[in-house]
């Protein structure tokens, strides 16, 4: 999106590194204009979109997010995800009466280092993981089929309560775009393009692999993808 806005519209775009919850206040303050991947933070929607009217919904970005249990090889320990992510794995292990030792190694880079090392050593590992993620293109992983979802099923252990309500698979989430209200009313041509922006899980994983896996410069990675998907980009541009 950055490449398209700069090359096609002449916009000046700055990518900001900020975590998923604080970014809502940044949009409310006008310090951040757009988030192109939001995992449906309902509490923030209520506060900033419904009550304050400082953030506006931009609609789906074309990607479906999903958290789950992924494995390499036979059954082994359970490796937890980044503690800052939505998760319920300890509750799920207990609800399913599984004899797993839950291990947490901290933030995502540490978790990836642990399971990828075990993978390369051909050792079994079961772990918290998700899609879209570029490493899904690099490693042969299989998602574990967890019990079907039911009414009242919970995905975030922070809700507390009986472990029985966590005894279900994680939901599939339509990932949204959200914009600051100020940006949506600014008249910037960038808003219309980002409003139309949409791509697939595979598109996102491919570009991410170019950058993080193949170590291609982000601008060159973007141009490589754009060259192969010009029709999709033209739709963003309203052509």
Please name the residue ranges forming H helices in the chain.
Answer: 2-9, 22-28, 42-44, 89-95, 108-120, 135-138, 181-184, 189-196, 201-208, 218-228, 230-236
DSSP letter for 159, please.
G
Other Cβ atoms within 10 Å of 97 Cβ, number = 7
Enumerate the domain spans of the chain: 65-172
- Taking the C-alpha atoms of residue 236 and residue 199, their distance in angstroms, rounded to an integer, is 10
Give domain 65-172's CATH number out of 2.60.120.260, 3.40.190.100, 3.90.1150.220, 3.40.309.10: 3.40.190.100
- Residue 83 phi/psi, 5-degree rounding, is -55, -20
Task: Give the orientation angle of helix 218-228 with respect to helix 201-208, to 10 degrees.
Answer: 140
- Taking the C-alpha atoms of residue 3 and residue 20, their distance in angstroms, rounded to an integer, is 23
Q: What averages of pLDDT result for each successive group of 10 residues across the chain (239 residues)?
A: 95 91 93 94 94 96 94 74 92 91 92 94 91 94 95 93 95 97 96 98 97 96 98 96
Residue with tokens 């789906």: 60
**For position 65, what pLDDT does the model report?**
96
**For position 74, what pLDDT does the model report?**
55
Can you tell me whether residue 11 is helix, strand or coil?
coil
Cβ density class 53-73: b for 16+ within 10 Å, e for less: ebbbebeebbbebebbbbbbe
Token pair recorded at residue 190: 């960038």
Q: Counting runs of H as helices and runs of E as strands, what totals does the chain give?
A: 11, 7
The pTM (predicted TM-score) of the whole model is: 0.83
């Amino acid at each position: 999106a950055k490449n398209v806005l700069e090359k096609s519209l002449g916009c000046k775009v700055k990518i900001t590194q900020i975590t998923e919850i604080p970014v809502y206040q940044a949009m409310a303050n006008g310090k951040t204009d757009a988030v192109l991947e939001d995992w449906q933070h309902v509490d923030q929607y209520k506060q900033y979109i419904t009550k304050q009217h400082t953030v506006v919904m931009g609609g789906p970005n074309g990607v479906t997010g999903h958290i789950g249990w992924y494995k390499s090889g036979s059954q082994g320990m359970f490796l937890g995800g980044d503690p800052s992510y939505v998760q319920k794995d300890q509750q799920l292990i207990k609800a399913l009466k599984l004899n797993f030792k839950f291990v947490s190694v901290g933030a995502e880079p540490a978790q990836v280092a642990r399971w990828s090392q075990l993978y390369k050593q051909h050792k079994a590992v079961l772990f918290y993981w998700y899609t879209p993620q570029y490493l899904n293109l690099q490693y042969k992983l299989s998602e574990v089929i967890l019990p079907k979802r039911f009414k009242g099923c919970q995905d975030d252990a922070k809700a507390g309560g009986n472990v029985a309500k966590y005894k279900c698979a994680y939901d599939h989430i339509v990932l949204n775009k959200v914009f600051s209200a100020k940006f949506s009313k600014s008249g910037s041509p960038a808003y219309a393009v980002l409003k139309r922006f949409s791509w697939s899980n595979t598109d996102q994983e491919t570009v991410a692999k170019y950058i993080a896996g193949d170590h291609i410069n982000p601008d060159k990675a973007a141009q490589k993808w754009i060259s192969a998907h010009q029709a999709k980009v033209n739709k963003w541009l309203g052509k």
